[in-house]
Amino acid sequence: MAKKVKDAIDKGAKRAKDATDKAAAATKKATDRAAKATKEATDRVAGGAKAAADRVEGARESLKKSGEKLKASGEKIAKQGSAVSMKMLEHAEENTRQAFAAMRAAAAAKNPAEVAKIQGDYLKQQGARALAHAREVGEMILQFGREAMGEGKK
């Protein structure tokens, strides 16, 4: 009888061991699947995060380049505005010299008819100068606009 009890205990122990081994194998398999799924999910999240970071970096670089272009355009506009201002000052100086030359000539005139002729000539010349100056400044402004549009297309 002791042998039967021992055999029963051994048989029960073997079944318990087999059940434990089977449960351990199933648990290991489930754990391995969960670990693999977790790793894949982590990799996808990391890949998504890297892609997002790359897009943010690309946007930052794009903004940086845009800022640099905007700064360069601003500097160019300031230079062009300065060039127009200098040209207008040159025109004002020329007009002032011509006006004083006409006044000197009028002051040295011998009669009123000569003064009238000097004034008439001055007004004709002044009109022609004003037109030439307006064309010159207008052409400068048009050229600046053409350059700006050409750069905008690039």
Neighbours of 2 (CB within 10 A): 6
Q: How far is CA 147 from CA 69, 140, 152, in A?
A: 14, 11, 8
Helices 2-107 & 112-153, crossing angle to 10 degrees? Answer: 170
Residue at 85: amino acid letter: S
3-state class (DSSP) for residue 32:
helix
Top-confidence range, 39-48, 84-93, 143-152: 84-93
111 phi and psi angles, rounded to 5 deg: -155, 165
pLDDT at position 12 is 82
| Per-residue pLDDT band at 154 (split at 50, 70, 90) | low
* pLDDT, mean over the chain: 84
| Per-residue pLDDT band at 151 (split at 50, 70, 90) | low
pLDDT above 80 for 152: no
What are the residues whose beta carbons fall under 8 Å from the beta carbon of 15, sequence distance 6 or more? none
Task: Enumerate the H helices of the chain as residue ranges.
Answer: 2-107, 112-153
pLDDT above 90 for 83: no
More confident: 13 or 129: 129
pLDDT digits (tens, 9 = 90+) for 118-142: 999 999 999 999 999 999 988 988 8
